[in-house]
Amino acid sequence: MKLFAKNILLATGWAKDQLLTIEQGVIQVITDGSEQQADQVVATVIPGMVNCHSHAFQRAFAGFSEQGSEGKDSFWTWRNVMYQFLEQLSVEDAELIATQLYIEMLKAGYTRVAEFHYLHHDNNGQPYTKLSEMAKALFKASKNSGLGLTMLPVLYQYSGFGQQPPNHGQRRFINSIEQFNQLVSDCAQLAQETPNTNVGIAPHSLRATDKEGINQAVAHVRSIDKQAPIHIHIAEQQKEVDDCIAHYGKRPVQWLLDNITVDKHWCFIHATHIDESELSGMIETGAIAGICPTTEANLGDGIFPTTEFMARQGTIAIGSDSHISVNPVEELRLLEYAQRLIKQQRAILATTATPSVGLNLWQQAAKGGAQSTSSNTGEIAVGKQADLLVLDQAKLNCFATGDKYNLDSLIFASQSNCIKDVMVNGQWVIQDYHHPLEQQSQASFSELLAKLSS
C-alpha cells in the first residue's frame, strides 16, 4: 500500500508530504510525494511505542489493591494479595485478560509488548500437559488483537537469596532448568507459527534464580537466537538490595555485571536503586534501563536516576508492568515529572539537539523499546516494520502544534487520547479509535472481573 503523510516523524526528524510504500509489513520506500499517488492520506504520523514490561494477568487485578491498612502496605503486602488473586486464573481467563489488555495497549499507542511471563502451571502447581499452555494463551491474545509480542518466559527457582525453597503462592511459577529450556523451545515454535512475535527469556530476579540457572538459560535461548532479549527484575525495592548485599556482599546490579556476561540485548527492569558505579557499569555494557514509572509510583518502589543515565547516553525503555496504567503518554509524563520534583527544575529529559522533552522521550523510549525486544521497530525508516500511529489533528490543533511542539502537546498538554489510528506490521488494527473486537472483549472481561471479585 501507499500511505501519504502530511507530517511524519522519521528517524531523521520531522518531514512533510511523504509517501510511504509498505509491503509485507515493512516500509520499502519513503519519498517526497503527493496525495494523488496514495491509497490513503493521513495527517500526523509518529512511530508506535514498545512496552518493554508486562505481566498481562495483573491487568485484572488493577484497582483491587488500593485499600489501605493504616500505613502498613508495601510492595511485599501487595505481592501477597496478587498471589492470592492469580490462584484462581485458568488458561482461558489468561487469554481473555491479555486480549482485553492488548486492545487497550493498541488504543493507547503501544504496538508491541514484551511479556514477562511467569504464570506457567495450573492452580495446583502442576505443569499442564504442554508446558507452554499458558504462554500459548498470550500468543493467541497477540494474534487476536494484532499487537506485536516478545514472549519472555520467566525462570523462577527460589523464594529468596540462598536458594530458599519457593512458597505456596509461587507454586505456579517454578520450573527446573530442563523444564524451563523446554518451555523456551516450545515458545520459539509458537513464535514461528504466530506473525510478528519472537522469544527471549527473563530470569525473574537475583532472589528467584542463581548464577548457574541464569547461565544455562541464557546459553539455551542464545542457541536458538543469538540476539534473544534477556530481561531481569533487578533492584526494585531497597529490601531486595539489602538482602542481596547480605547474601552476595554486593548490590544487585554490581553482582550481575561482575558475574554474568551482559550485552545490549539485556534489559534491567526496575534498576531503581543503583549507585554511581552500577550506573557506569550499565552504560558500558549497553544494557537497557526498563523503567515502569506508574507501577514504580504505585508500588512505592523509588525513582530511577533517569537524568544521570540519559545524560550519559544510557538507553531507556518504558513498561506498564502491573498495568495500573496502560498509557505510554502517562508513563513518559511521569518519567519527566518525577525528575522535576526531585531536582526542582524543568524540561530535564531533553538534549541540546532535541530540546523538546516530549520528542526526545518518545524517540528514545521507542528506540530503546525496539532494542529491548530485538524487534525491527521503534522508528519510521526504510527497512523498518510499519508500526505507526496517526494522531488526531483536530485534537492536536487545540494545543501548540508544529514540529517543535507536537509531542510536548501529546504528552504534557492533552488530557484525552489523541491516537486515532494504529498500524502494526503493515495492518491497520485501530481505526478511528476503534478495534474490531473491543466490544466483545470488554463484555467478556467485565464478566470475568465480576466472577473473580465475587
Instruction: Give the nearest distance from C-beta 304 to Zn ion in angstroms.
Output: 14
Phi first, then psi: give them for residue 50, nearest 5 degrees.
Answer: -100, 130
Q: Give whichever of 324 and 359 is closer to Zn ion, judged by the CB atom.
A: 324
Q: What is the DSSP letter of 58?
A: G
Query: Is 331:297 a contact under the CB 8 Å cutoff?
Result: no
Question: Can you tell me the distance from the alpha carbon of 98 to that of 59, in angstroms, rounded to the nearest whole number?
Answer: 8
Instruction: Give the nearest distance from C-beta 248 to Zn ion in angstroms.
Output: 21
Active-site hit among 93, 186, 301, 321 = 321
Count the residues of the shown chain that bind Zn ion, applying the rule CB under 5 A.
1
Of the ranges 37-45, 66-74, 202-210, 317-325, which one interacts with Zn ion (CB under 5 A)? 317-325
Question: Can you tell me the distance from the alpha carbon of 374 to that of 369, in angstroms, rounded to the nearest whole number?
Answer: 9
Q: Give whichever of 148 and 290 is closer to Zn ion, judged by the CB atom.
A: 290
Count of CA atoms in the C-beta half-sphere (13 A) of 296: 28
Q: Which helix (H) or strand (E) segment is 256 a member of? A: helix 252-259
Of the ranges 74-82, 318-326, 346-354, 389-397, which one interacts with Zn ion (CB under 5 A)? 318-326
Phi first, then psi: give them for residue 363, nearest 5 degrees.
Answer: -65, -45
Of the ranges 4-12, 165-173, 320-328, 423-431, which one interacts with Zn ion (CB under 5 A)? 320-328
Instruction: Give the nearest distance from C-beta 434 to Zn ion in angstroms.
Output: 30
Task: Give the sheet arrangement for strand 2-10, strand by strand.
Answer: 26-32, 13-23, 2-10, 40-47, 388-391, 419-424, 427-430
Q: Give whichever of 186 and 321 is closer to Zn ion, judged by the CB atom.
A: 321
Instruction: Give the nearest distance from C-beta 454 to Zn ion in angstroms.
Output: 27
Measured from each CB, the residue nearest to Zn ion is 321
Instruction: Give the nearest distance from C-beta 397 to Zn ion in angstroms.
Output: 38
Our answer to whether residue 121 is catalytic in this structure is no
Which cell numbers hold the place of 150?
516478545
Question: Can you tell me the distance from the alpha carbon of 251 to that of 244, in angstroms, rounded to the nearest whole number?
Answer: 6
Q: Give whichever of 301 and 321 is closer to Zn ion, judged by the CB atom.
A: 321
Q: By rule CB under 5 A, what string of x and - marks binding of each residue 321-350 to Zn ion?
A: x-----------------------------
Phi first, then psi: give them for residue 114, nearest 5 degrees.
Answer: -100, 115
Instruction: Look at residues 102, 86, 93, 188 and name the one whose alpha carbon lies nearest to residue 141.
Output: 102
Our answer to whether residue 321 is catalytic in this structure is yes
Active-site hit among 55, 231, 265, 270 = 270
Q: Give whichever of 239 and 451 is closer to Zn ion, judged by the CB atom.
A: 239
Residues that bind Zn ion (CB under 5 A): 321
* Catalytic residue annotation: 270, 321
